[in-house]
Amino acid sequence: MEIFLQQIINGLVQGSVYALVALGYTMVYGILGLINFAHGEVVMVGAMLALSALTAMLGWGVPPLLALLLSVGLAMAGCMALGYSIERIAYRPLRHAPRLAPLITAIGVSIVLQNLAMMIWGRQYHSFPMLFATSSHVIGGAIINDIQIAIVILAVLIMAGLMVVVHRTRLGRAMRAVAENQHSAQLMGVDVNRVISITFMLGSALAAIAGLMVSANYGLAHYYMGFLLGLKAFTAAVLGGIGNLRGAMLGGLLLGLIESLGTGYIGDLTGGFFGSNYQDVFAFFVLIAVLVFRPSGLLGERIAERA
Amino acid sequence: MSSYFARALLPLAIALTLYGCEKPATVKKTSTDDLVVRIGAAAPLTGNQAHIGKDNESGTRMAIDDANARGILIGGRKVYFELISEDDQADPKTATIVAQKLVDDKVSGIIGHLNSGTTIPASKIYNDNGIPQISPSATEVNYTAQGFKTAFRVMANDAQQGRVLGEYATKNLAAKKIAVIDDHTAYGQGLADEFIKAAQANGAQIVAHEYTTDKAVDFTAVLTVVKGKQPDLLFYGGMDPQAGPMAKQLKGLAMKVKLMMGDGGYTPEFIKLAGDAAEGSYASLPGVPLDKMPGGKEFETRFVAKYQPIQLYAPYCYDAVNVMIAAMQKADSVEPAKYLAELPKISLDGITAKIQFDEKGDLLGGAITMYQVQQGKWHALETLGAVSAAAH
């Protein structure tokens, strides 16, 4: 039982991070119908920026909590600027081009960012400084530490905040309008370019937070860390129904749980025939199964819902 | 339409340009009558093992710079060695493309690749073209068991290393219940399999064999499975980008098991990534500790001054280049076909070991040293297993 509970906790922590990153993919897809493959790299840049700022500030003797808050702010600002620039430089000129063109620029941007990060931060791994003495808590035999609790709570708060922004504010209404029909939204006086820019910046700010969470949880940052995370988050977004905010959250949490429970029990369930080497196969099998029965993902893509 | 394409390709072009900048252009300091000899090197210079790949490249480069400074004469002509370094991304498919490129570049010999998974597919291409290949770090048994006359390595293979690790775990550390995780690469899997054989032969029980990948960072799920089986030792077959976070997550799950790794874990990066969770972990490295080898300390001092602290295989790369050059000198030729005949007969006092090959191209009599993290540093425990590689 405690093993089961531990796997649920493992899955929830991992899933929360997937969900936050998946939101970035899904927001952009909802509005532009574009898969922003550079999003994983924005997560990486966020982690790197936060880490650099944090290390520098701790070196100057800034108190840990203040240093953490300042570096989160800095990383978010940096990533928002980056997200804005990516959209402005690589996607906006191609908005009316065939769909394949922005897909290629997305991959290009991703390679550029990876190489830039490699030049700035080097090939080595950066370890995340221990800011506070984190304690572990035992719940029914399963162990969870403060960082993991913070990740889950923060992720839930951010997702709730985003739902409020999209569904309760003028900006959110503009975003939904642009998602539904760019032309009509423009005719109604919505500044489409501005809304798209803000969407990219919002997604990038979430990415910065996710990047910081990942590097605090695993204690490392590396210029290559965004690649696999981006891929997994994209999968989560598709699983939940790309373009749908609730879908991204559900997909992220589900993917995290499937991965950890799959790893934990696939060996015992199949009598050792499949092992944890089928972890990814299992996750993608679920994805395929979902797409066969619900091609638009678990929560589908209700046009009015997407943002 | 064309302007769309121009815009689409621009970021790619920038990326490739940046990528090009990464490699410092080799300045040719040759006069026209110098004999230019190209040495190919391949390792992952990007991706999550880039730090180890760069370390390999630097070790190779230093040996080549030293040889050029010595001014070597072959066939009566002064030789200028030129390094052609390629990025195989630790990916078997890319490795074969890189191997073909190096062959097309007419290199006289290959130092590489870094990983077993890349070395093995590439070795066929080098063998087909008759180009000698010395891997500084590939340990998978099959690399030299394919019957290729061109394949050599200056590192003990997995059978040698796995046996020492298995015996150390069961005898010295008295482990009875052992869990194994490997990263599903040719190296990780090969080493884990050999370790399991040796551990079982010495009476230990393998309570779990789980898997991850060489790109993963989250191991809490597999570790939780392992935790349920209550082993007293966990062996990880893989490299440091995974081993470091794994050690940390072990501690996070309050698992009190001894962590043991092969050479892939023996890096300063492992300690950095694992933090204080690294304390007490074991790893093995073929050869004798560098400071116990003649010339080893001097190499380290010069290497650190020129590049960065040694990650892992730089000394082996240094030896590999020197063995290759020694064979060229002995044959008095840089023709692959001619100096290849001298390689099996070579005997060279390297900085990692006395280098001699057996009939398959494996390192003869590979000694293996066990290390443990003590007070945040790798500390040599004892050197074991100076057994003949020919036994396998």
- Tell me the pLDDT tens digit for each residue of A5-40: 999 999 999 999 999 999 999 999 989 888 999 999
By Cβ distance, the residue of B209, B254, B273 closest to A143 is B254
Return the CATH architecture of domain B159-286+368-391: 3-Layer(aba) Sandwich (3.40)
pLDDT recorded at residue B247: 95
Decide if A115 and B19 are in contact by the 8 Å CB cutoff: yes
* Closest chain A residue by Cα to residue B185: A277
pLDDT recorded at residue A285: 83
Which residues in chain B have their CB less than 8 angstroms from residue A143's CB? 252-254
Domains of chain A as residue ranges with CATH: 2-121+146-293 (1.10.3470)
Residues within 8 A of B (CB atoms), A 67-96 only? 90, 93-94
* CATH of range B17-156+292-355; options 3.10.129.10, 3.40.50.2300, 3.20.20.150, 3.30.420.40: 3.40.50.2300
- The reply to whether A189 touches chain B by the CB within 8 Å rule is no
Which residues have C-beta within 8 Å of that of residue B127, sequence separation ≥ 6? B133, B146, B148, B149, B150, B151
Peptide bond into B113 cis (omega under 30): yes
Q: In three state form, how does the secondary structure of B176-223 look? A: CEEEEEECCCHHHHHHHHHHHHHHHHCCCEEEEEEECCCCCCCCHHHH
Question: How many C-beta neighbours within 10 Å does residue A251 have?
Answer: 32
Angstroms from B316 CA to nearest CA on chain A: 20
pLDDT recorded at residue A305: 47
Decide if B227 and A3 are in contact by the 8 Å CB cutoff: yes
pLDDT recorded at residue A287: 83
In tens, the pLDDT along A228-282 reads: 899 899 999 999 998 889 999 999 999 999 989 888 887 777 777 777 777 777 7
pLDDT recorded at residue B295: 85
Query: Is residue A66 over pLDDT 50?
Result: yes
What gap in Å lies between CA A236 and CA A250, rounded to an integer?
8
HSE-up (13 A, CA, CB side) for residue B288: 16
Which residues in chain A have their CB less than 8 angstroms from residue B252's CB? 136, 143, 145
What gap in Å lies between CA B14 and CA B253, rounded to an integer?
44
What gap in Å lies between CA B360 and CA A67, rounded to an integer?
58
- The first and second tokens of residue A68, run together, are 């953490």
Which residues in chain B have their CB less than 8 angstroms from residue A279's CB? 211-212, 221
Query: Is residue A141 over pLDDT 90?
Result: no
Which residues in chain A have their CB less than 8 angstroms from residue B273's CB? 125, 127, 219-220
pLDDT recorded at residue A275: 74
Decide if A276 and B212 are in contact by the 8 Å CB cutoff: yes
By Cβ distance, the residue of B7, B48, B221 closest to A94 is B7
Backbone φ and ψ for A176, nearest 5 degrees, come out as: -65, -35
Q: What is the mean pLDDT of chain A?
A: 89
Q: Which helix (H) or strand (E) holds B354?
A: strand B354-355
Going residue by residue through chain B, which has 392 residues, state the pLDDT in tens, using 9 for 90 and above: 344 444 544 454 455 445 544 444 444 555 567 899 999 999 999 888 999 999 999 999 999 999 999 999 998 899 999 999 999 999 999 999 999 999 999 999 999 899 999 999 999 999 999 999 999 999 999 999 999 999 999 998 999 899 999 999 999 999 999 999 999 898 999 999 999 999 999 999 999 999 999 888 899 999 999 999 999 999 999 999 999 999 999 998 999 999 999 999 999 999 999 988 999 999 999 888 888 888 899 999 999 999 999 999 999 999 999 999 999 999 999 999 999 999 999 999 999 888 999 999 999 877 899 999 999 999 999 988 654 433 33
Q: Record the pTM.
A: 0.84
Decide if B51 and A263 are in contact by the 8 Å CB cutoff: no
pLDDT recorded at residue A289: 87
- Label residues B364-385 b or e (16+ Cβ within 10 Å = b): ebbbbbbbbbeeeebeebebbb
* Closest chain B residue by Cα to residue A134: B252
Question: How many C-beta neighbours within 10 Å does residue B292 have?
Answer: 12
The answer to whether the CB of B178 falls within 8 A of the CB of B235 is yes
pLDDT recorded at residue B385: 64
B367 bridge partner residues:
none
Decide if A7 and B217 are in contact by the 8 Å CB cutoff: no
pLDDT recorded at residue B14: 52
What gap in Å lies between CA A195 and CA A197, rounded to an integer?
5
Domain with CATH 3.40.50.2300 in chain B: 17-156+292-355, 159-286+368-391
- Label residues A61-77 b or e (16+ Cβ within 10 Å = b): ebeeeebbeebbebbbe
